Amino acid sequence: MTWQPFYVGDGTPRDVDLGAPPPWRSFPRQALHKQFQPPPGLVQAVNAALMLRRPLLVTGPAGSGKSTVVEQVAAELKLGAVLRWHITSRSMLAEALYRYDALGRIHAQRLAGSGDDDIAPFIQLGPLGTALLPVDRPRALLIDEIDKSDLDLPSDLLDVLERGEFEIPELARYNRDVVAVREWDSDTRSDVARGRIQCAHFPFIVMTSNGERDFPAAFLRRCIRFTMPRPTVEALRRVVEAHLRIAADDRSDLFDPLIEAFVARVSDGESLAIDQLLNAVHLLTSGDVPAGGERQEVLDLVLRELSRA
């Protein structure tokens, strides 16, 4: 990329080559497990969670790499594609276990006649339900931003996380003992016997939190907890080199001052994400670098403090 304006603002149509995107903005999205640089202590926390079969609760500011942890673990241990449950204030445990389209089933019965009553097409396991299937190797599950949930959700999770099983009442009452249901985010189907799913290996679960709320003690004692540390200049230099594939001595005169300024701002209490730093370094190392006032204008755009509109 050379620093030439794609958009000029004169309304004249023109052919423009936008160049290659940043590695983390290429589509289809690629996992960043090779680029992730775990901070001190995280490897030990992951191994403790794996050995104890406990969820790992990772707390830290947005953009600090919390959700990438599970991708790296899943890749290294060959746990398959990561299952993802993104939490909002409306998220409920039931939808993470399974989803039943009752209206769709009724509609299909009316169209096909009373003789056709196959329930399987109308039940799909959720991300947590899929993670609890009895498989040969544990699955990896990301429960992202659990601190944005309803107040009751962490407590609702306790029984499932302790027992590693749940029941699908619609299948428990069904007239067939075994039904093949579709897994989450997949066309794969798994047999469910008498409506009960019980894991053979407890999944590797990473729950992320931005630290915006407290959790009940009963919930916390069932987790291995890790707080992402404040970034250091050396740690961020490794992150930049890994993500942008920049050699240690290549153009460090450009991005080292950015890293130092970034760390100073975070230390002063500003809310900034690491991907903002990556954006700034990418813009200033990918071609002709803007100079003077234009350079500072670009930096102000991509390194704007997150707590401000």
Amino acid at 131: A
CA distance linking residue 91 with residue 207, whole number of Å: 14
pLDDT at 2 over 50: no
Query: Residue 279 above 70 pLDDT?
Result: yes
In order of 21, 22, 196, the CA distances from 18 in angstroms are: 8, 11, 52
Torsion of CA 174, 179, 182, 184, to 10 degrees: 70
53 versus 37: the higher-pLDDT residue is 53
Tell whether the model's pLDDT for residue 13 goes beyond 60.
yes
Question: What local confidence, expressed as pLDDT, does residue 107 receive?
Answer: 86
Q: Are 272 and 303 in contact (CB under 8 A)?
A: yes
- Mean pLDDT over 170-178 rounds to 94
> What is the pLDDT, as a whole number, of residue 183?
97
- Report the pLDDT value the prediction gives residue 231, as an integer from 0 to 100: 86
Whether the per-residue pLDDT at 166 is higher than 50: the answer is yes
Backbone angles phi, psi at 47, to 5 degrees: -65, -35
Domains and CATH numbers, the chain: 42-227 (3.40.50.300), 231-302 (no CATH)
8 A C-beta contact, residue 37 and residue 239: yes
Indicate whether 33 pLDDT > 50: yes
pLDDT at 272 over 70: yes
> What pLDDT sits at residue 250?
60
d(CA 241, CA 244): 6
Give the lowest-confidence range in 19-23, 77-81, 141-145, 158-162. Answer: 19-23
Q: What is the pLDDT of residue 1?
A: 42
pLDDT at 225: 97
The pTM of the full predicted model, rounded to 2 decimals, is 0.86
Alpha carbons 290 and 164: distance in angstroms, whole number: 55
Q: Check whether 46 has a pLDDT greater than 50.
A: yes
pLDDT in tens, 73-115: 999 999 999 999 999 999 999 999 999 999 998 888 888 765 5
Residue 123 tokens read as 């039940």
286 or 258, higher pLDDT: 258
pLDDT tens-digit profile of 184-227? 989 999 999 999 999 999 999 999 999 888 999 999 999 999 99
User: Strands 196-198 and 165-167, how do they pair?
Assistant: antiparallel
